[in-house]
Amino acid sequence: MNVKIPQELVEEIERLIKKKKLGYRSRAEFVIEACRERILRIREAP
């Protein structure tokens, strides 16, 4: 699957990845985790 992400958001993701303490090694890893978190929130919503 290919997804177009706005450049501003890509740059923010890159900044977060560079903070090694967060544990992300790649943009793909970050996006997968973000999707998982969003799905969990949707499932838990009333």
Q: What is the pLDDT of residue 20?
A: 84
Q: Report residue 25 CA to chain centroid gap.
A: 11
According to the model, what pLDDT value does residue 21 have?
Answer: 86
Confidence of residue 9 (pLDDT cuts 50, 70, 90): very high
- Tell me the two tokens of residue 31: 């996006």
| pLDDT score of 15 more than 90 | yes
Query: Does the pLDDT value for residue 46 go beyond 90?
Result: no
Average pLDDT over residues 11-30: 93
Average pLDDT of the segment spanning 4-28: 94
Looking at the chain, the whole-number percentage of residues with pLDDT higher than 90 is 87
Neighbouring C-alpha atoms within 13 Å toward the C-beta of 42? 6
Lookup: tokens for 35:
């999707």
Contact present, 27 and 10 (Cβ < 8 Å): yes
